[in-house]
Amino acid sequence: MNALIVIIFWGMSLSNVEAQEIYKWEDEKGVVHYGDKPPHPDVKPFAKEQVPYSNMEREGNESSSTTPGEKHVRARNRSYGPRPSPSLSSPKAWVDNGSGDFWFSGVVRNGGKGLCDAPAVEVAVIDELGSVDGNFELPASPGEIGRGEGAEFSGKYFAPVGNKLSWVAVPRCYSTVGAVYGARKRGTLRITHSRTVRAKKLRTP
């Protein structure tokens, strides 16, 4: 008799579980919810086999612990990866008195974890009055440098008219986030103009 009562109660509880309805509704923010109790009478039951339980768990954890800003940063980091960090090392500048050219050389180093593509240095030449006389770019070699590596550059530009010039140089890399610039360096040079000395004609007796 006792066994029969247990079987009857077990069957009743099983039928209640199977008869339980699941409801689906969307709130004012557009978030989809699932539950066994409808928020208002107009909500219709949703078939159990169509409820994405794995999606519910994943979306619930992400929405409760991650802000929209954090989601954007994480997505950006996944898309772009680590960044390079270019710096200008051992810059040398001089003026060739014979040709009147301004020469600039040095090394672009990568201190970041990301790969530095097409390393180069952008240089501005400033005359003695403080006006920019011109801008030029010097590519460095090799064309790709990893963390701790360096690429050498060297090139020339016309020196401005005057007794001195100033220069401003900025190292640059390209990566998945676009152009990445390093700290700029400055310098000043005196321009020594060559003088032509004419030899005196010797008088013969």
Distance, in Å, from the CA atom of 108 to the CA atom of 159, rounded to the nearest integer, reads: 23
pLDDT per residue, tens digit, the chain (205 aa), is: 555 454 455 555 544 444 456 667 677 766 666 666 666 666 666 554 444 433 333 344 444 455 555 544 454 444 567 899 999 999 999 998 888 899 999 999 999 999 999 999 999 999 999 999 999 999 999 999 999 999 999 999 988 988 899 999 999 999 988 999 999 999 999 888 654 444 444 444 4
> Which among 104, 106, 120 is positioned nearest to 173, based on CA atoms?
120
Distance, in Å, from the CA atom of 205 to the CA atom of 198, rounded to the nearest integer, reads: 22
Q: Which residues contact 159 (CB under 8 A, 6 or more apart)?
A: 95, 100, 101, 102, 125, 165, 191
Q: Which residues contact 160 (CB under 8 A, 6 or more apart)?
A: 125, 126, 127, 128, 133, 134
CATH code, residues 86-190? 2.60.40.10
Looking at the chain, which residues constitute the CATH 2.60.40.10 domain(s)? 86-190
